[in-house]
Chains A and B, each alone.
Chain A
């Protein structure tokens, strides 16, 4: 039952690795073990308190857990940090205490040493950075989750050079294995169910470590989206990029948080929000593939008030058999047709073949409610994301569902993870912007009757 105990055994059985690799799986697992123990301890603390005070709610427990998990994750780099970022995006899945703590991890990571940066360049280009660029700052200007960004200059142009931490790809799979027992505790799923989802996450994360792929996609996406108003992309330089290095134009501008501090006017907020909305919905409905990392650090607001998009590391492609049933559910005509709606739910594995009529009815009702909430912005031609009522309803519903025993078992195809994360991420950013946007610019393609 206590999964962290298994982990202790595992690390004791691998002394060979401990000798050969200074800080690797073993030490990382030790890190997770202590956190696992702490979380376990927090539960004990909670339940012993509850013995004396039955009214105690879980807020304190959640806070204790979140800070322990956060402390441990922030000491790790790479995929663990990524998982932290990921969890922090899914506000709908996690109680408030977790998300507050986790969103801190979007910002800090210890930097790579200057000599390692020089070494990385020598390895991939055979030259030191000062021989490649006219100017190169060995001190990084900020951290990206699996790397860090440096300022450089070439032919009078200011550039951003992203460098990946070594060994990230290798540690992803082992990190995810370590995260699993926790994620399972946190989300209350069984390990077997979690596997399908973990694989999906692993795939995306591994793609993210391939900087050559990222450069290709960045160029593809920025070209495909070049027709959008008010959205700009940096230029990428494939000849100055490699497996671990990406060179692109430096985008001047403010991050979302800094932008909001400048007290932008409502019309400016709407303008930026519209850019975001169009960017995502154009991708979803026209390209059928999305920039699936909508955390605020990936966007800049440029001095001429345009939305700058950086980091195309995480792309989620939506196959037809997911896109069609899912987005058709945003159509009210379909939602009023119970038979067709159930067909869509079945295709999306939200209703399973073995479900009893009672279960079908239950899941139909709950999912219908959930999707109509999600689809609200699509119903009319504009939507005010500034209103808190919508978000309270959304989180409230998420919390309610997470407590239902019927949802202990995971449902829904794996594509939901990234599509949900993207859309809720988008909604959250729009909410922070308090933007009122026209939602009919790029409409979902819907089918009203399934074959």
Chain B
């Protein structure tokens, strides 16, 4: 009897041995002694398997980091960092598949189909911690930009993923550095900064009007 796990396992084994997806579901099912119907009961296509695997990586990471004793002591920034470290630690055990899966994606600006589930889970997680960060005043609430915070983190995730794929330092130490430095910078941008103060000052001047008059010293 086929299960989600057994199909995933067989699929990973196939793509890593052959270097490509099976020609058809029929061939794949036959090779693994199941019916096509059994396959379709769980997945609609090969890409759906990959999508499911990626979503699983994120879900597993989140469950794992939340189970750590220190989780409750972390602030929002640390929770975010914790996801990145946990995620890439987890990917290590499936590195060959990850490299295969990422490399075959066309280089486009839109999110490839197989990452959509991952993106949803990741963004939900980010929204949670951004909300927390704003509540505790760790991050600055900027009307139109706050909604974009999660996008910045997604860009970082894609960046680090590519970085990790090309990382050949022992123990992927460079990736750790990229996370420690890069993600911290992203979170720095969410914090209250001089720009916010400048905006506030601008708003104050606008509201308290009379800018034109007060600028001209030469009035009588």
Contact = CB atoms under 8 A, between A and B. Distances in A.
Contacts of B173: 166-167, 170
Interface in A77-119: 112-116, 118-119
B103 interface: no
A167 B85 contact: no
Given A114-B74, A119-B89, A166-B173, A22 B178 contact: yes
A20 B82 CA distance: 22
25 contacts: A21-B177, A22-B182, A22-B185, A23-B177, A23-B181, A113-B184, A114-B73, A114-B74, A115-B78, A116-B81, A116-B85, A118-B68, A119-B85, A119-B176, A122-B89, A128-B68, A130-B68, A130-B70, A138-B73, A166-B176, A166-B177, A167-B173, A167-B177, A170-B173, A170-B174
Given A23-B181, A166-B176, A114 B70 contact: yes
B216 interface: no
Nearest to A124: B171
Minimum-distance CB pairs A-B, first 5: A119-B85, A115-B82, A115-B81, A130-B69, A166-B176
Interface in A112-140: 112-116, 118-120, 122-123, 128, 130, 138
B78 A113 contact: yes
B180 interface: yes
B53 interface: no
Interface string A205-245: 00000000000000000000000000000000000000000
Interface in A395-426: none
A176 B216 CA distance: 56
Interface of A: 20-24, 112-116, 118-120, 122-123, 128, 130, 138, 166-167, 170
A138 B78 CA distance: 11
A20 B176 contact: no
Nearest to B77: A113
B7 interface: no
B191 to A, nearest CB: 15
A20 B74 contact: no
B78 A114 contact: yes
Contacts of A22: 177-178, 181-182, 185
A114 B181 CA distance: 13
Contacts of A116: 81, 85, 176, 179-180
A123 B86 CA distance: 10
Given A130-B70, A167-B174, 13 more contacts: A22-B178, A23-B177, A24-B177, A113-B180, A115-B74, A115-B82, A116-B176, A118-B82, A122-B89, A166-B174, A166-B177, A167-B169, A170-B173
Contacts of B179: 116
A122 B176 CA distance: 12
A123 B171 contact: yes
Contacts of A21: 174, 177-178
A20 B177 contact: no
A16 to B, nearest CB: 11
B125 interface: no
B169 A170 contact: yes
B85 to A, nearest CB: 4
A106 B173 CA distance: 26
B169 to A, nearest CB: 7
Contacts of B89: 119, 122-123
Contacts of B77: 113
A138 B82 CA distance: 13
Given A116-B81, A119-B89, A167 B176 contact: yes
B163 interface: yes
A348 to B, nearest CB: 39
B83 to A, nearest CB: 8
Contacts of B70: 114, 118, 128, 130, 138
B166 interface: yes
A114 B82 CA distance: 8
A113 B177 contact: no
A130 B65 CA distance: 13
Contacts of B171: 123
